[in-house]
Structure 1
Amino acid sequence: MPHDGAKNAHDHPPSDDDACGSCGSGNVAQLAQADAIEGRSFHVSGLDCAEEVSILNRVVGPEVGGREYLAFDVINARMTVLDGGTNPSSDKIIDIVATTGMTAKPWDAEDASADQAAHLKKQKLFTMLSGSFWAAGFAFHLIETGIAGAIGIFSGHGESAMPMVEVALFATAILFGVWLVAPKAWSSARRFSPDMNLLMVVAVAGAIGLGEFFEAATVAFFFSLSLYLESWSVGRARNAVSALLDLAPPTARVLYDDGSEADVPAAAVAVGARFIVRGGDRIPLDGEVVDGAGAVDQAPITGESALVPKETGDDVYAGTINGEGTLTVRATKAASDTVLSKIIRMVGDAHSRRAEVEQWVAKFARIYTPVVMVLAILIALVPPLVVGGDWGFWFYNALVLLVIACPCALVISTPVSIVASLAASARNGVLIKGGAYVEAPGRTTALAMDKTGTITMGEPEVAAIYPLGGITERDLMARAIALEARSSHPLAHAILARAEQDGMQITAADETRTVPGRGLEGELDGQSIWLGSDRFAEEKGLGGDIPTDLRDRIEGAGST
């Protein structure tokens, strides 16, 4: 402020240890050092939930040295064979996966995305066809028998035979409903390892054997619908993760040694190359500022709510936004190795870190499913053989048990809930490393968090004014307003907002100049004025003009 010693506690801090955010620079370093999963990856068509993971663990695991050498990313339908096992050829692994009713091929991110979309589209088509023919069969029965007959279909046709048209419609609904499930069920039967797919197909086949085509079509359609909804929910999670890719621009404005500039794909920019980032642009690559000064919004990476001033020698991250000033940045990492890329890979791999409840449910289902199968067989055989019960009645009850006791909902509910929480968090800027960490807050006894932007709004405001050296509050504010009139710094917004609140006229100072990491200086009515940090005051020779007790009181209140 004026050289009479008055000073406003307004600081444009440099991006050093004082910088704050929901994640600090230490967290970024941890991400940069995160180990990638090493091994061969395969895209597995049909890998939608924990049930398929369990199947692949049982079938592929022994061939690669044990299930500990397998890692799964259900969100992206990816299976990774980790290094260190028996190392079978890729062709052999693909053949082994084929025996499960699923298909595999070497991982390619672009092809995998297209394959996943095609698989979901195919599931949707078959589910819609199954539902359409089921509805057509029910509508035919309604037309033929009226409302009373339509209600009666739930208890069968009695002694009368089902019309062939109705049989054909329900049979077609069954065909489309089990088309994608049947290969997995057959694989399960051949391995004598019953799973939910086998339970459903057996229930459908049993209902057909009893002539209950409506019941068979209903089970086939709703099971197909449940699998489609599961794939759809996983697809939504995948889209949320993919949206993170949009944080970084696809091109960089590269500055060549001869001074010319050109837009180049970010993936083609070499480490050490220089690129230009204008005000308002997203930064395409991790790098170090070599020229210029500005303030960067790092919230997408570090969670900091306020702009972070940047000057020569400071690091910047891909996906962050340059708020003001033009920066020349030297790329320090390739596009595939930036902090943002590591975050995206981390979120993509998160589902492989399964929560305890997921692991428990998977183990429970492995025991539960065979037990249900045995109980169904006992219900179908024991009463007729031991007490002479009706075979049709008890066989029907055994099928009812298979449908009711199917662990599909139990097995699907937990991973889908975990994936939904990961996806919802990612959409809101919270990145969770896996299902195991979703459960962790339930055991939390203490929580440490950053203040700014976390338990506060992250929007500075003028809390108090302390004029010194005989100057009035209004004169002090007028000079601060003059310096900040054309600034876009968050603290400038706070000062200008206070000016509007107090009804003060905003008049810009002359010859204003930003001093990076210090503050502002300029001229007003022919007088030199400045505004900035304690360090700036020390450099002006006015560091001792602020009373110690006042400084302590301001800092104790948590003010800047």
Structure 2
Amino acid sequence: MDCAEEVAVLKRALGGLVGGEDNLAFDVLNGRMMLADAAKHVSDDAIMKAVADTGMGATPWQKGARDQGTDNHRRQQVIFTALSGAFVAIGIAIHLYLSADILTGLKLLVSHDAEVMPFPEIAAYVAAALLGARFVVIKAWYAAKNLRPDINLLMIVAVIGAAAIGEWFEAATVSFLFALSLALEGWSVGRARRAIAALLNLAPPTVRKLLPDGSDVEVPVADLKPGAHFIVPGGERIALDGRVIDGSSAVNQAPITGESVPVEKSSGSEVYAGTINGDGTLTVEATKAVEDSTLARIIRMVEEAHARRAPTEQWVEKFARIYTPVVMVLALLVFVVPPLLFGGLWVDWLYRSLVLLVIACPCALVISTPVSIVASLAASARAGVLVKGGAYIELPARLKALALDKTGTITRGEPVVVRVVPLNGHTEDQLLARAAALEARSTHPLARAVIRYAQEKTIAFTPAEDVEVLKGRGLTGLFEGERFWLGSHRYVVERDQDTPETVAAAEALEADGKTVLVVGNERHVCGLIAVADTIRPEAKAIVAELHRAGIARVVMLTGDNRVTAEAIAREVGIDEVHAELLPEDKVREIDRLVATYTYVGMVGDGVNDAPALARASMGIAMGAIGSDAAIETADVALMTDDVSRLPWLIRHASRTLGVIRQNTIFSLGVKAVFFVLTFAGMASLWGAIAADVGASLLVVVNALRLLNART
């Protein structure tokens, strides 16, 4: 099961069996069909037989079992599609080789009515048509058998109709292009499946379980039960959600919560699976089993969000439900009614019915949307915007609300020194030299920010001696023969060295959303260094441009602290801000926005954003700095890390929608004209084929205008 079309077929086939289509749920990513508790009791055998009657197959679901059948089907689909395309190319090559000149060869684009097509060329096109129709014909057969015409049956009828009048090239290309679209759809679903599997690699497969005698042993994560104790050495990933019972360290929680700087953890602190321990060693009591961890919930939320979106049907499929049976019945009536009722010539009306079938071949209609989308996708890629398929290229034009993650999206995602406040007669250079000396051997992001700033200011310093890390508070060391300390404002209070001047300066900086590092010695506080994740300089202008592009509500969703988030939101012009959010909180906020605005976009860059990206109407990932999971889960990736591409993407989507509407109206208009001419006896096979090819060429030319939409 790869697409919404198959979901629709299964709903129609099994809805009555289980008491209604609402009792069926589908997880396209994992190829699962689920029955609701309210469904009628039906045996597995009855369900598998009903599925088999659609041309598909089913087996009872087993957790953890790899679906080899799906993988084999996809591989075969790719092989048959590639072979079909190869035979189309061989047929073209044979035709051009046997043609007297290039102009004669170009007749291939119109018709072979004026001359007999060489047998080798026919053989190549027949092979291409058969190979391309390998998987389509099965679904078409069951659609005809069950009297439920669909796009598959229409494609097969179009191929047979083209072959019946000798248009072998058209039969081959229609078959190949439709097979290619099915293969690409299956490939995109496969990539999404692999993205979810990659999330599992965030947590280690084994954990160091602490034994009662104080020793530890490495065991599989799945074997560790809630209440058990395990050890997390410095630099390693935490395997399970838990509570720290011993030790202190700074933990990088960005993969789960999105916080821009590591969070100090000590006894009693909560930690999450998939986060990265800093320098210290932690002893943790597991509070959840591996299948209930925050990371496991993220994976489930991504799956569920995709599953909720999967059943949406494309317009072409809905149109084909009416168009296909109407055209087929109409062609049959054109063939039999006039000879039977009015004494018309059978040969004459057979010819007219074939003309009707040829003009009904939805080449221009089918091509109109894909070519527009391909051109639009190409223009997007050249503009640094990776849009993952045509299903998402038009969505930005419908967005009414846009949720933005803070870190890495509105801000740069990297802490930097933004202010230095010397106190008690010290200079800025002295303060930075002491701080850099104390932090010289630390890998903490805040420490690296201080060192980088000191180097940019060309301040000379040597690493401090006798450096001692004060777990969860700061550090001390000897610099130029004197002992200095560095820590948070809370540590200053602990040392009883706080003064009204220090309090006022620290509170002012923290109220502005900055992290404060304080440097001092045994006598007094030397000064304060403010570190913050700086706002992208273009962020304010981009938010204003988003509003002009039609976004009614711009919302910030972040795992960072509320003070920092609100300060940034005020400066940038964000309409609404929600801070201190876990991944499930972000999904909840997206659900709330969807209920109000229907079409909601989400922009993020971390693993913690993946569920919200999947749940939103459109997920947009920061491609240059984003995590693999966010990029794979999102529908769009900004590969150049340029947030200004967001307003461009919305305008580009509007242009694409306009071209698609033009092409669709034109394609259907040409068919309507030839339907009338066919009944009037004024249409010929040559004219029908020329009109179909001409319409196809015109919609392609119109669509290619989108290639210039790069700015």
TM-score by length of 1: 0.78
Q: Distance in 1 between matches of 2:120 and 2:457?
A: 81
1:448, distance to aligned residue in structure 2 (A): 7.5
Aligned to 1:444: 401
Identify the match of residue 449 of structure 2 among 491, 494, 500: 494
1:217 correspondence with 2:172: yes
1:126, distance to aligned residue in structure 2 (A): 1.1
Contact 1:254 1:262 in 2 (8 A): yes
Q: Distance in 2 between matches of 1:287 and 1:162?
A: 74
State how 1:441-520 maps to structure 2 within 5 Å.
442-444=399-401, 450=406, 453-520=408-475
Identify the match of residue 190 of structure 2 among 216, 231, 235: 235
Aligned to 1:365: 317
1:378 correspondence with 2:330: yes
1:121, distance to aligned residue in structure 2 (A): 0.5
1:63, distance to aligned residue in structure 2 (A): 1.1
1:78 correspondence with 2:32: yes
Q: Distance in 2 between matches of 1:411 and 1:96?
A: 33
Q: 3-state SS of the aligned residue for 2:468? A: strand
1:164, distance to aligned residue in structure 2 (A): 4.1
Contact 1:361 1:410 in 2 (8 A): no
1:392, distance to aligned residue in structure 2 (A): 2.0
State how 1:302-381 maps to structure 2 within 5 Å.
302-354=257-309, 359=312, 361=314, 365-366=317-318, 368-378=320-330, 381=333
Deviation per residue, 1:491-524 (Å, 9 max, x gap): 2222222322333333333443333332223444
> Which amino acid in 2 is paired with 1:54?
A
Q: Distance in 1 between matches of 2:500 and 2:435?
A: 18
Q: Distance in 2 between matches of 1:380 and 1:404?
A: 21
1:196, distance to aligned residue in structure 2 (A): 0.4
Aligned to 1:13: none
Q: Distance in 1 between matches of 2:198 and 2:372?
A: 25
> Which amino acid in 1 is paired with 2:514?
S
Deviation per residue, 1:159-203 (Å, 9 max, x gap): 654444444333322222212111211111122111100101111
Q: Distance in 2 between matches of 1:454 and 1:366?
A: 38
> Which amino acid in 1 is paired with 2:215?
S
Identify the match of residue 61 of structure 2 among 93, 107, 123: 107
Distance 1:412 1:308, change over 3 A: farther
> Which amino acid in 2 is paired with 1:375?
V
Q: Distance in 2 between matches of 1:204 and 1:321?
A: 57
1:443, distance to aligned residue in structure 2 (A): 1.7
Q: Distance in 1 between matches of 2:437 and 2:96?
A: 80
Q: 3-state SS of the aligned residue for 1:513? A: strand
Distance 1:145 1:467, change over 3 A: closer
Q: Which moved more, 1:367-376 or 1:81-90?
A: 367-376
> Which amino acid in 2 is paired with 1:371?
Y
Identify the match of residue 99 of structure 2 among 131, 145, 148: 145
Q: 3-state SS of the aligned residue for 1:288? A: strand
1:133 correspondence with 2:87: yes
State how 1:53-452 maps to structure 2 within 5 Å.
53-108=7-62, 110-146=64-100, 147-158=102-113, 160-354=115-309, 359=312, 361=314, 365-366=317-318, 368-378=320-330, 381-382=333-334, 385=338, 391-404=350-363, 442-444=399-401, 450=406
Deviation per residue, 1:432-468 (Å, 9 max, x gap): xx99xx87992228x6764x55422233333333333
Q: Distance in 2 between matches of 1:391 and 1:456?
A: 68
Identity in percent: 45
1:157, distance to aligned residue in structure 2 (A): 3.0
1:342, distance to aligned residue in structure 2 (A): 1.4
Q: Distance in 1 between matches of 2:404 and 2:140?
A: 49
Distance 1:454 1:312, change over 3 A: farther
Q: 3-state SS of the aligned residue for 2:124? A: helix
Q: Which moved more, 1:235-244 or 1:141-150?
A: 141-150
Q: 3-state SS of the aligned residue for 1:546? A: helix
Aligned-residue RMSD, C-alpha: 3.5
> Which amino acid in 1 is paired with 2:437?
A
1:547, distance to aligned residue in structure 2 (A): 5.2
Q: Distance in 2 between matches of 1:210 and 1:454?
A: 58
Q: Distance in 1 between matches of 2:398 and 2:99?
A: 57
Number of residue pairs matched by the alignment: 493
Contact 1:50 1:411 in 2 (8 A): no
Q: Distance in 2 between matches of 1:121 and 1:529?
A: 65
> Which amino acid in 2 is paired with 1:397?
L
> Which amino acid in 2 is paired with 1:365?
E
Distance 1:287 1:390, change over 3 A: same
Q: 3-state SS of the aligned residue for 2:123? A: helix
Contact 1:376 1:401 in 2 (8 A): no
Q: Distance in 2 between matches of 1:286 and 1:350?
A: 23
Distance 1:175 1:375, change over 3 A: closer
Listed as ranges, the gaps of 5+ residues in structure 1 are: 1-46, 422-426, 429-433
> Which amino acid in 2 is paired with 1:222?
L
> Which amino acid in 2 is paired with 1:443?
K
Aligned to 1:431: none
Contact 1:289 1:311 in 2 (8 A): yes
Distance 1:499 1:161, change over 3 A: closer
Distance 1:193 1:509, change over 3 A: same
Distance 1:154 1:543, change over 3 A: same
Contact 1:63 1:88 in 2 (8 A): yes
Q: Considering Cα pairs closer than 8 Å and 6+ residues apart, tell me whether 1 or 2 has the greater RCO.
A: 1
Q: Distance in 1 between matches of 2:123 and 2:417?
A: 76
Listed as ranges, the gaps of 5+ residues in structure 2 are: 381-385, 516-711
Q: Distance in 2 between matches of 1:141 and 1:448?
A: 55
Contact 1:365 1:407 in 2 (8 A): no
Q: Which moved more, 1:456-465 or 1:67-76?
A: 456-465
Q: Distance in 1 between matches of 2:314 and 2:474?
A: 58
Distance 1:507 1:157, change over 3 A: closer
Q: 3-state SS of the aligned residue for 1:211? A: coil
Contact 1:365 1:411 in 2 (8 A): no
TM-score by length of 2: 0.63
Deviation per residue, 1:353-395 (Å, 9 max, x gap): 228xx74746x73354323431354256449938976532441
Q: Distance in 2 between matches of 1:486 and 1:461?
A: 18
Q: Distance in 1 between matches of 2:422 and 2:175?
A: 79
